[in-house]
Chain A
Amino acid sequence: MNKPLRRVAIFCGLLIFALLVRDNWVQFVQADELKTDEHNRRVPIERYAQPRGDIVVGGKSITGSTKTDGSDFQYKRTYTNGPMYAPVTGYASQAFGSNQIENIEDGILTGDDDRLFFNRTIDVLTGKPKKGGSVVTTIDPKAQKAAFEGLGDKKGAVVALDPETGAILALASTPSYDPSSIAGNSKTDGKNWSALQKENNPDDPMLNRALRQTYPPGSTFKVVTAAAALENGLYTDIDEKTKSPLPYRLPQSTTELKNEGNIPCKNASMKVALQYSCNTVFGKISENLTNEKMKKQAERFGFNDKVFIPVRAEASVYPKDNPPQNAMAGIGQASNRATPLQMAMVAAAVANNGKLMKPYLVQELRAPNLNVIAQTTPEQMSRPVSPENAQKLQQMMVNVVERGTGTNGRIPGVEVGGKTGTAQHGVANSGKPYAWFISYAKTDKGSPVAVAVVVEDSSGTVRNDVAGGRLAAPIARDVMRAVLDK
Chain B
Amino acid sequence: MSSSNTTTITPQGAPNRRNTELFLLGFAVLIPIFAYANVGLALNGSLPAGMLAYGLGLGAMALIAHLAVRRFAPYSDPLLLPVASLLNGLGLVLIWRLDQSPLLKRLGQGTGASTQLMWSTLGIILFVCVLIFIKDHRVLQRYTYISMVVALVLLAAPAFFPARAESFGAKIWIYIGPYSIQPGEFVKIIIAIFFAGYLMVKRDALALASRRFMGLYLPRGRDLGPILVVWALSILILVFETDLGTSLLFFGLFVIMLYVATERTSWIVFGLLMSAGGAAVVASFEPHVHQRVVAWLDPMAIFGPHPPPGLISDQAAQALFAFGSGGVLGSGLGQGHSDLIKFAAKSDFILGTVGEELGLCGMMAVFVLYALLVQRGMRTALAARDPFGKLLAVGLSGAFALQVFIVAGGVMNLIPLTGMTMPFLAQGGSSVITNWALVAILLKISDTARRPAPAPAPTTDAEPTQVVRL
Contact, CB under 8 Å: A8 / B259: yes
Interface residues of B in 365-384 (CB under 8 A from A): 367-368, 370-371, 374-375, 378-379, 381-382
Once A27-B323, A72-B337 are accepted as A-B contacts, the answer to whether A16 and B394 lie under 8 Å apart by CB is no
Is the CB of A23 closer than 8 A to any CB of chain B? yes
Is the CB of A39 closer than 8 A to any CB of chain B? yes
A34 CB contact (under 8 Å) in B323, B367, B375, B409: B323
Interface string of B351-366 (1 = CB under 8 A from A): 0000100011001100
Once A19-B404, A31-B324, A41-B337 are accepted as A-B contacts, the answer to whether A8 and B398 lie under 8 Å apart by CB is yes
Contacts of B390 in A (CB 8 A): 1, 5
Contact, CB under 8 Å: A9 / B378: yes
Once A8-B260, A8-B398, A28-B360 are accepted as A-B contacts, the answer to whether A16 and B370 lie under 8 Å apart by CB is yes
The interface stretch among B227-235, B325-333, B425-433 is B325-333
Contact, CB under 8 Å: A72 / B102: yes
Q: Determine the main DSSP class of A at the interface with B.
A: helix
Contact, CB under 8 Å: A9 / B375: yes
Q: A232 vs B327: C-alpha distance in the bound complex, in angstroms?
A: 65
Is the CB of B187 closer than 8 A to any CB of chain A? no
Contact, CB under 8 Å: B364 / A20: yes
User: 13 other contacts beyond A12-B398, A28-B327, with CB at 8 A cut-off?
Assistant: A1-B391, A3-B263, A8-B259, A9-B379, A12-B374, A12-B397, A13-B374, A16-B370, A26-B323, A30-B320, A32-B324, A39-B321, A41-B337
Q: A19 vs B394: C-alpha distance in the bound complex, in angstroms?
A: 20
Chain A: which residue is nearest B359 at the CB level?
A27
Contacts of B300 in A (CB 8 A): 37, 39
Contacts of A484 in B (CB 8 A): none
Once A18-B405, A28-B328 are accepted as A-B contacts, the answer to whether A8 and B378 lie under 8 Å apart by CB is yes
Contacts of B452 in A (CB 8 A): none
Is the CB of A59 closer than 8 A to any CB of chain B? no
Contact, CB under 8 Å: B404 / A15: yes
Interface string of B268-285 (1 = CB under 8 A from A): 000000000000000000
Contact, CB under 8 Å: A26 / B412: yes
Contact, CB under 8 Å: B317 / A39: yes
Is the CB of A413 closer than 8 A to any CB of chain B? no
Interface string of B385-407 (1 = CB under 8 A from A): 00100110010011001101100
Is the CB of B414 closer than 8 A to any CB of chain A? yes
> Which 8 residue pairs of A and B lie closest in terms of their CB atoms, listed nearest first?
A34-B324, A12-B401, A9-B378, A27-B360, A15-B405, A16-B371, A40-B321, A22-B414
Is the CB of A24 closer than 8 A to any CB of chain B? yes
Once A27-B326, A31-B328 are accepted as A-B contacts, the answer to whether A1 and B260 lie under 8 Å apart by CB is yes
Is the CB of A42 closer than 8 A to any CB of chain B? yes
Contacts of B236 in A (CB 8 A): none
Contacts of B382 in A (CB 8 A): 2, 5-6, 9
A16 CB contact (under 8 Å) in B260, B360, B367, B379: B367
B249 shortest CB reach to chain A, Å: 12
Q: A26 vs B414: C-alpha distance in the bound complex, in angstroms?
A: 10
A31 shortest CB reach to chain B, Å: 5
Is the CB of B81 closer than 8 A to any CB of chain A? no
Q: A12 vs B360: C-alpha distance in the bound complex, in angstroms?
A: 21
Contacts of A2 in B (CB 8 A): 382
Q: A32 vs B325: C-alpha distance in the bound complex, in angstroms?
A: 7
Interface string of A32-55 (1 = CB under 8 A from B): 111101011110010000000000
Is the CB of B261 closer than 8 A to any CB of chain A? yes
A72 shortest CB reach to chain B, Å: 6
Interface residues of B in 170-206 (CB under 8 A from A): none
Contact, CB under 8 Å: B409 / A16: no
B323 shortest CB reach to chain A, Å: 5
